[in-house]
Amino acid sequence: MVKAEKKFSSFLTFDNENFIVFFIRLSLFAVFFFIFQSVIIIQKPFLHIEFINIFYSIMALQFISYGAALYFKQYALYAHYLFDIILLYLLFNSQPQYASYYFIYLSLILFFAGLQFDTFKAIVLCFICSALLSVINLNTVRWTGAQNLLTLSLFNFTFLAVTFISTQFKSEVSFLKQSLSESNIKLQSKFDLSKLLIQQIPMGIFATDSKDHVLFSNQTLSVKMSLNHQTAKEVVALAHTKQGKRALVYNSQLSEKRYYELDQASYFDQELQDHVKVNLIRDVTEMAHLQEQVRQKEKLAAVGQLAAGIAHEIRNPLAGISGSIELLSQAKIDPDEQKLMKIILREIDRLNNLITEFLDYSKPEKAPDQQVDLAFILDEVIQNLRTNPLVIDKIKINISLSKSPILGYTSKLKQGFLNIAMNAIDAMKDRQDAVLSIATEHIGSHIIVKIKDNGVGMSEEIKSRIFEPFFTTKSKGTGLGMAITHKIFDSHGARIEVESEFGIGTEFKIIFSKD
Whole-angstrom Cα distance, residue 235 to residue 253? 14
Residues 156 and 234 both lie in one domain: no
Split into its structural domains, the chain has a count of 4
Residues 403 and 509 both lie in one domain: yes
Asked if 378 contacts 421 with a C-beta cutoff of 8 angstroms, the reply is no
Residue 195 lies in a domain: no
Residues 267 and 403 both lie in one domain: no
Helices 481-491 and 335-362, packing angle to 10 deg: 30
Whole-angstrom Cα distance, residue 237 to residue 319? 61
pLDDT band at 449; cut points 50, 70, 90: very high
pLDDT at 510: 93
Residue 450 lies in a domain: yes
Residues 215 and 78 both lie in one domain: no
* Domain CATH code at residue 497: 3.30.565.10
At 323, which amino acid appears?
G
Residues 327 and 388 both lie in one domain: no
Whole-angstrom Cα distance, residue 450 to residue 499? 11
Q: What is the pLDDT of residues 397-412, one digit of tens each?
A: 899 999 889 999 888 8
pLDDT at 478: 67
Residues 140 and 14 both lie in one domain: yes
Residues 146 and 28 both lie in one domain: yes
Residue 199 lies in a domain: no
Q: What is the pLDDT of residues 209-231, one digit of tens each?
A: 888 888 888 888 888 888 888 88
Q: Which of 258, 283, 308 is the last residue of a domain?
A: 283
What b/e string do you get for 481-493 counting C-beta neighbours within 10 Å, with b at 16 or more?
Answer: bbbbbbbbbbbbe
DSSP class of residue 387 equals T
Residue 194 lies in a domain: no
pLDDT band at 136; cut points 50, 70, 90: confident
Residues 61 and 150 both lie in one domain: yes
Residue 302 lies in a domain: yes
Q: What percent of the chain has pLDDT over 70?
A: 75
Whole-angstrom Cα distance, residue 305 to residue 297? 12
* Domain CATH code at residue 305: 1.20.58
pLDDT band at 40; cut points 50, 70, 90: low
119 pLDDT higher than 90: no
Per-residue pLDDT averaged across 159-177, rounded? 85
Residues 217 and 159 both lie in one domain: no
Find the range with the poorest average confidence among 119-123, 145-149, 207-211, 329-333. 145-149
Per-residue pLDDT averaged across 140-166, rounded? 73
pLDDT band at 432; cut points 50, 70, 90: confident
Whole-angstrom Cα distance, residue 60 to residue 83? 13
Q: Which of 223, 250, 283 is the last residue of a domain?
A: 283
Whole-angstrom Cα distance, residue 454 to residue 65? 95
Say which residue, 514 or 356, is predicted with more confidence.
Answer: 514
Q: Is 12 left (phi over 0), alpha (psi -120 to 50) or beta?
A: alpha
376 pLDDT higher than 80: yes
Residue 225 lies in a domain: yes
Strands in 495-501's sheet, in edge-to-edge order, are 396-400, 435-443, 446-453, 505-513, 495-501
- The beta strands (E) that lie in 99-159 are given as none
Total number of residues shown for the chain: 515
Burial class (CB in 10 A: 0-12, 13-18, 19+), 504: exposed
Instruction: Give the 3-state secondary structure of residue 206.
Output: strand
pLDDT band at 89; cut points 50, 70, 90: confident
Instruction: Give the 3-state secondary structure of residue 178.
Output: helix
Residue 186 lies in a domain: no
Residue 154 lies in a domain: yes
Instruction: Kindly give the residue spans of alpha helices, DSSP state H, lying in 331-455.
Output: 335-362, 374-386, 410-427
Residues 10 and 36 both lie in one domain: yes
pTM of the model: 0.47
Asked if 97 contacts 140 with a C-beta cutoff of 8 angstroms, the reply is no
Q: Is 279 left (phi over 0), alpha (psi -120 to 50) or beta?
A: beta
Instruction: Give the 3-state secondary structure of residue 224.
Output: helix
Q: What is the pLDDT of residues 65-74, one digit of tens each?
A: 666 666 565 5
Per-residue pLDDT averaged across 322-350, rounded? 74
Asked if 313 contacts 359 with a C-beta cutoff of 8 angstroms, the reply is no
pLDDT band at 438; cut points 50, 70, 90: very high
12 pLDDT higher than 50: no
Whole-angstrom Cα distance, residue 199 to residue 196? 5
Give backbone dihedrals phi and psi of 260, rounded to 5 degrees, phi first: -130, 145
Q: Which of 343, 362, 381 is the last residue of a domain?
A: 362
The DSSP line for 251-316 is ETTTTEEEEEEEEEEEEEETTTTEEEEEEEEEE-HHHHHHHHHHHHHHHHHHHHHHHHHHHHHHHH
Q: Can you give the residue range of the structural domain that contains 272?
A: 204-283
Say which residue, 160 or 476, is predicted with more confidence.
Answer: 160
Closest CA to 406 of 462, 362, 448: 448
Q: What is the pLDDT of residues 378-391, one digit of tens each?
A: 999 988 888 887 77
Residues 293 and 273 both lie in one domain: no
Say which residue, 57 or 264, is predicted with more confidence.
Answer: 264
Q: CB-side exposure of 37: number of CA atoms within 13 Å? A: 9
Whole-angstrom Cα distance, residue 74 to residue 80? 10
512 pLDDT higher than 50: yes
Residues 6+ positions from 324 with CB-CB distance below 8 Å:
none
Residues 271 and 297 both lie in one domain: no
pLDDT at 13: 39
